[in-house]
Amino acid sequence: MIIREIASSLYPWDLADEPIDQIVDKLVEHSAVNSIYLVGVMHYEKRPLTSLFYTQNPKRKWYAPEDSRVYYRMDMNSFRNTRLKPQFSEREFLMHTDWLDVLTECARRRGLKAGAEISHTFYDTVKAQKEFPDVLQKDIHGRPFSNHFCCNHPDVAEYMRAIFYDTVKNHDIDFIQTCMMLFHVGKPVEQPWFQKDKADPKLAALLGVVTGGCFCENCRRKAISMGYDWDAIVKQLSELERIVTATPYHNNDVCIEFQTLMGSNLTEAGLLLEYPALFQFLEFRKKCITNLMKDIYEGIKEAKPNVEFRYNNYLTYPEFAGLDYKAVAPYLDSVRDSDYTEQRDVVDDFQYKRGTLLKIRRGIGYDKPLLAAFAVRPNATPEIIIRSIQALSTVGVDGFSLGHYDGSTNKLLHAVKDAMELYDIHLAP
């Protein structure tokens, strides 16, 4: 099999703590990496994520990033049409350097592809809650979600377009990747404790959507302008929300409805026929996300036509968040799937991983690059990584993406080269 790319993410603090050439030496030697990208806007998450302490960092044991800071310079003129402005690091060891320039300078010198990632969130969520609570998504009761921004809010839509545009305009990158959170998918509903059969995970996730978002005033206005009877949709979804949040002590008049529903073998199609508002709600959100992706894509191409827009899939059921790969395909140049089965007990022989990749592939078509991520961090073993790459060699991926250097070991990294040799996988020259 011929692939085109083996990518690795790097965080600004990785580059502050260890010389970038020393990092890249390891990635190239052990994993044949030919593409590096900076996680240039990172959410509030302790690093490393899946283990107590760093394995590669020579300076610190662990790190707690600030929320949603941008670690490279931006032209504030790009943000003149939105109340939301980028926030930068206030930490001495990070704040005086453009970390994306550090990464691209190294990539160019060594002939590697260079990219930037705007991760799950792109704005300080505490600041947003305090200063601009209207930009946050709302649940069906009007309560805001703490870290999901509504793309139907004009300030959010403009901020999202601008942050991609400006990153591409003012930095020498080949691709810009994002795993930005879309519509809040709610929480899959849980089977009542005394029902011993497991709830169907797809039905549980679909039902959970009514506990997600967004039900804000901007969504209402937009839906009505698109011809939806929004108030009727919300009325029917409210009835369903009462049912799926019922317990013997809360909404007990519909508790039996919930208990029988979860014990039944009703299909998702059956549910959508009973609650057409649920279908309309999903369809409305799909149209909104498709528009958002179109705006971002056009902004990127306006800045530099050759820069690639890559979505980094992290969703089990993207369509529940508004992401329909067939609908957004015209506005994506490539997709990375961030499944990290390798770091758990592999009980399904990578069936979930392969299924997700094929789902994305049939959505984006057969010509656009699809990269499969895998975990090179603790809990994975070289043997598991080799098995994973064997599975990937059967589903027509165009590249790999390592998650993540900060928790890796050289042995885990080297499993990539070992697997490529075993399964006859080559990088295109």
Count of residues touching Zn ion (by CB under 5 A): 6
Should residue 209 be labelled a site residue for Zn ion when binding is judged by CB under 5 A?
A: no
Site for Zn ion in 217-246 (CB under 5 A): 218-219
Should residue 289 be labelled a site residue for Zn ion when binding is judged by CB under 5 A?
A: no
Should residue 173 be labelled a site residue for Zn ion when binding is judged by CB under 5 A?
A: no
Instruction: Name the minimum Å distance from CB 288 to Zn ion.
Output: 8
Question: In terms of CB distance, is 148 or 377 closer to Zn ion?
Answer: 148
| Residue span binding Zn ion (CB under 5 A) among the ranges 33-41, 72-80, 142-150, 256-264 | 142-150
Should residue 416 be labelled a site residue for Zn ion when binding is judged by CB under 5 A?
A: no
Should residue 415 be labelled a site residue for Zn ion when binding is judged by CB under 5 A?
A: no
Should residue 420 be labelled a site residue for Zn ion when binding is judged by CB under 5 A?
A: no
Question: In terms of CB distance, is 135 or 402 closer to Zn ion?
Answer: 135
| Residue span binding Zn ion (CB under 5 A) among the ranges 125-133, 208-216, 245-253, 379-387 | 208-216
Should residue 152 be labelled a site residue for Zn ion when binding is judged by CB under 5 A?
A: yes
Instruction: Name the minimum Å distance from CB 395 to Zn ion.
Output: 36
d(CA 65, CA 14): 12
Should residue 321 be labelled a site residue for Zn ion when binding is judged by CB under 5 A?
A: no
Should residue 160 be labelled a site residue for Zn ion when binding is judged by CB under 5 A?
A: no
Query: In this structure, are residues 329 and 363 in contact, taking their beta carbons and an 8 Å threshold?
Result: yes
Closest C-alpha among 377, 419, 397 to residue 55 = 377
d(CA 422, CA 390): 9
Instruction: Name the minimum Å distance from CB 214 to Zn ion.
Output: 3
Should residue 150 be labelled a site residue for Zn ion when binding is judged by CB under 5 A?
A: yes
Query: For the window 348-377, what string marks contact with Zn ion as x by the rule CB under 5 A?
Result: ------------------------------
Should residue 151 be labelled a site residue for Zn ion when binding is judged by CB under 5 A?
A: no
Question: In terms of CB distance, is 180 or 262 closer to Zn ion?
Answer: 180
**HEC secondary structure over the chain:** CEECEEEEEECHHHHHHCCHHHHHHHHHHHHCCCEEEEEEEECCCCECCCCCCCCCCCCCCCECCCCCEECCCCCHHHHCCCCCCCCECCCHHHHCCCHHHHHHHHHHHHCCEEEEEECCCCCCHHHHHHHCHHHEEECCCCCEEEEEECCCCHHHHHHHHHHHHHHHHCCCCCEEEECCCCCCCCCCCCCCCCCCCCCCHHHHHHHHHHHCCCCCHHHHHHHHHCCCCHHHHHHHHHHHHHHHCCECCECCCCHHHHHHHHHCCCCHHHHHHHCHHHHHHHHHHHHHHHHHHHHHHHHHHHHCCCCEEEEEECCCCHHHHCCCHHHHHHHCCEEEECCCHHHCCCCCCCHHHHHHHHHHHHHHCCCCCEEEEEECCECECHHHHHHHHHHHCCCCCCEEEEECHHHCCHHHHHHHHHHHHHCCCEECC
How far is CA 194 from each of CA 191, 260, 263, rounded to the nearest angstrom?
8, 12, 10
Question: In terms of CB distance, is 168 or 214 closer to Zn ion?
Answer: 214
Should residue 412 be labelled a site residue for Zn ion when binding is judged by CB under 5 A?
A: no
Instruction: Name the minimum Å distance from CB 151 to Zn ion.
Output: 8
Should residue 214 be labelled a site residue for Zn ion when binding is judged by CB under 5 A?
A: yes
Instruction: Name the minimum Å distance from CB 262 to Zn ion.
Output: 29
Instruction: Name the minimum Å distance from CB 228 to Zn ion.
Output: 13
Question: In terms of CB distance, is 163 or 216 closer to Zn ion?
Answer: 216
Instruction: Name the minimum Å distance from CB 354 to Zn ion.
Output: 34
Should residue 216 be labelled a site residue for Zn ion when binding is judged by CB under 5 A?
A: yes
Question: In terms of CB distance, is 243 or 293 closer to Zn ion?
Answer: 293
| Residue span binding Zn ion (CB under 5 A) among the ranges 207-215, 358-366, 373-381, 408-416 | 207-215
Instruction: Name the minimum Å distance from CB 150 to Zn ion.
Output: 3
Instruction: Name the minimum Å distance from CB 281 to Zn ion.
Output: 12
How many residues in the chain? Answer: 429
* Binding interface with Zn ion (CB under 5 A): 150, 152, 214, 216, 218-219
